[in-house]
Amino acid sequence: MSLHAPLAYSIPDATATLAAKVFPKGNMYMTMCDELGPLYQNADFADLFPRRGQPALAPAQLLLILVMQFVEGLSDEQAADAVRSRIDWKYALALELDDTGFDASVLSEFRDRLLTHQAEQRLLDQMLSLLRARGLLKARGRQRTDSTHVLGAIRGLYRLENIGEALRQALNHLVVVAPAWLRTVMDASWSDRYATRIEQYRLPKEEAKRQ
């Protein structure tokens, strides 16, 4: 994939107008966007992409999605749905209201690209620099400076979602091929847990609940 993303973004008028109606007092992401401006610049991550090939999605937007995904503890599927459906996310990402987003696998592939190029530290370094420049973070403050925990937490949710969906599919097949046996081993809680796709749940942040 090659990078042909714009150098700067402006929030589309229709997106800004609707967001102001839906959130007259603003919300976390809108305030972040209005007060801080763009957290990332595409040019700063151009080295992650070859000069030729299929155009890639903008790293500045993907990085911001990773941050918002981490804040809310969303899986890749849920984050991709948020990009498609949530007004506040479209506002922060400077997307048109009718933007249909992308496949969830893009987020996993982009994380791998960051790690392969050892660029994950830039994710946090640029944010910290911006916060310091705005006077929101003291230079000697005790802040975690390792961004790998952000990517690690998201990757953990991605794996948990895949495991849960694999179990759901297995149960659906067993209901067809071995229903009598399944009734003898099935726990009552499985019906509720695996009745719908795992991506429709808000996955827990606590390790004990994930286990």
Tell me, yes or no, whether 24 lies in a domain.
Answer: yes
Q: What is the pLDDT of residues 100-130, one digit of tens each?
A: 999 999 998 888 888 888 877 777 777 777 7
How does pLDDT run across 67-107, given as a tens digit for each residue?
Answer: 899 888 888 999 999 999 999 999 999 999 999 999 999 99
Tokens 């403050």 -> residue = 141
Residue numbers of the domain that contains 86: 13-150
The pLDDT, as a whole number, for residue 203 is 66
The answer to whether residues 38 and 103 belong to one domain is: yes
Number of H helices, E strands in the chain: 11, 0
Largest CA distance in the chain: 65
Rounded-to-integer distance, Cα 59 and Cα 130, Å: 17
Q: Which residue has the higher pLDDT, 164 or 178?
A: 178
Residue 52 and residue 117 share a domain:
yes
Q: Is the pTM of this model over 0.85?
A: no
- Same domain for 70 and 38: yes
On whether both 185 and 89 belong to a single domain, the answer is no
